[in-house]
Amino acid sequence: MTPKIVRRLDPAVAHGRPAAAAAAIKRLLTATCNGRWRKARKPALRVAAAANARLGRRDEAHTAIARMGQIDPAFRMCDVRKVAPFRRPTDLEKFEVSLRKAGLPE
């Protein structure tokens, strides 16, 4: 199960609060060394990549995508819709655009 903070931050990226999301995810990623937080690493990296891409921080966005690729090399843009928790299609579209900017492979 994905920790609540990651589920809350996905919409934060889509709703124009990428700076807050990026800061919170950075803290979360430093705490994902053990236990249940380890399962949050991939969703947290997705949010970090999208948030940093929206903020114009290309290096941080590309780094998050690269780290995600080490965890799950097969993850592609076509998989985003399967795991993103958005109810509104416009939020999902914004998230996908941000992940494309971050360099997530098609």
Whole-angstrom Cα distance, residue 64 to residue 93?
A: 19
In the chain the first and final C-alpha atoms are separated, in Å, by 26
Q: CB of 42 within 8 A of CB of 49?
A: no
Express as a percent the part of the chain with pLDDT over 90. 27
Whole-angstrom Cα distance, residue 38 to residue 31?
A: 8
Label residue 1 by pLDDT band (50, 70, 90).
very low
Using the predicted structure, report yes or no on whether residue 96 has a pLDDT greater than 80.
Answer: yes
- Among 64, 47, 35, 39, which Cα is nearest to 7's? 47
Q: What is the mean pLDDT of residues 51-69?
A: 91
Q: How far is CA 79 from the centre of its chain?
A: 13
- For 26-46, write each residue's pLDDT tens digit: 666 665 555 555 667 788 888
